[in-house]
């Protein structure tokens, strides 16, 4: 099982290039970063975690630019979005961004996706909360067409284009990992993704999670062995990680705290022994 981290890269946090080098030097497999294009001042949508919205949500770098710097500063570190708010993008442009990043990084990009929770944020992009998941699904399928076809076309309800040329192509179609925990999420994972990206919330049961995904795959005619599970926000202790590995989870991501540079590096030093012998693909 592979062990990586996720982090909100901000303008006042540790430089993402230094973080990436520190991760690779300590044996971590990957760095995933989230996305918020902006946070509306209205704060009409409550923070799902409860309480006040954490400060770093307002200050995140663009994920693809941050990951480009992380990739350029490292040799092997896997880079990914955790998660990209797909409906808030234009799919042809997003497909080119991802293809360029994956090709230039030597095939190191993984595409964590989600529909979003902040209603006023998505509305500023012209996205409707009620149809965001349908839009996400069509966008992902359209991008797959662009990445794999010489003359790509797509005709859905929310995105339509006749044959186009679009290069570069990615080094390989990036693995698509969908965040969320509901049965609706699992259906979408099975229908058009490569893996599931649930959060390691309190009470999360890895055995039940594995069984839920396998049942959903079998009910929809997909081989469960073609789907991976990547836990987002795992507890940084050996017993927890061993339990995830026991049930076939491919990756765990530890949450880097939004602290000072020195505190983050001390935290990575503390966690580094957890990576020993766990980085099998």
At 279 the pLDDT is 60
Residue 280, pLDDT above cutoff 70? no
The alpha carbon dihedral of 249, 102, 176, 58 has a sign of positive
Domain ranges (residues) in the chain: 2-275
Place 201 in a pLDDT band, splitting at 50, 70 and 90.
Answer: confident
- Average pLDDT in the 73-87 region? 98
Note the pLDDT tens digit of each residue in 10-47.
999 999 999 999 999 999 999 999 999 999 999 999 99
- Average pLDDT in the 54-65 region? 97
Cβ atoms of residues 107 and 100 within 8 Å:
no
Cβ atoms of residues 214 and 245 within 8 Å:
no
In CATH terms, the fold of domain 2-275 is TIM Barrel (3.20.20)
- Average pLDDT in the 226-231 region? 97
**Residues with Cβ < 8 Å from 58, sequence gap 6 or more?**
36, 39
Residue 202, pLDDT above cutoff 80? no
């Amino acid at each position: 099982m592979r062990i990586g981290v996720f982090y909100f890269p901000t303008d006042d946090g540790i430089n993402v290039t230094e973080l990436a080098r520190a991760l690779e030097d300590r044996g971590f497999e990957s760095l995933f970063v989230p996305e918020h294009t902006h946070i509306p001042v209205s704060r009409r949508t409550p923070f799902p975690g409860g309480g006040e919205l954490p400060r770093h949500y307002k200050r995140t770098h663009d994920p693809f630019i941050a990951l480009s710097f992380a990739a350029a500063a490292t040799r092997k570190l896997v880079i990914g979005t955790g998660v990209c708010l797909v409906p808030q993008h234009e799919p042809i442009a997003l497909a080119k961004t991802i293809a360029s990043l994956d090709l230039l990084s030597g095939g190191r990009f993984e595409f964590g996706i989600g529909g979003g929770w902040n209603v006023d944020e998505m509305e500023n992009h012209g996205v409707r909360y009620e149809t965001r998941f349908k839009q996400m699904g069509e966008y992902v399928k359209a991008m797959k067409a662009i990445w794999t076809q010489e003359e790509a076309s797509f005709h859905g309800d929310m995105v339509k284009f006749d044959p186009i040329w679009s290069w570069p192509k990615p080094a390989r179609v990036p693995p698509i990992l969908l965040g969320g925990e509901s049965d609706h999420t699992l259906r979408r994972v099975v229908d058009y993704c490569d893996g599931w990206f649930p959060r390691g919330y309190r009470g999360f049961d890895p055995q039940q999670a594995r069984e839920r995904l396998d049942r959903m795959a079998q009910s929809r005619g997909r081989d469960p062995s073609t789907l991976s599970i990547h836990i987002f926000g795992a507890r940084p202790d050996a017993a927890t990680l061993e339990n995830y590995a026991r049930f076939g989870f491919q990756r765990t991501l530890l949450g880097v705290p939004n602290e000072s540079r020195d505190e983050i590096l001390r935290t990575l030093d503390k966690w580094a022994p957890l990576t020993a012998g766990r980085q099998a693909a």
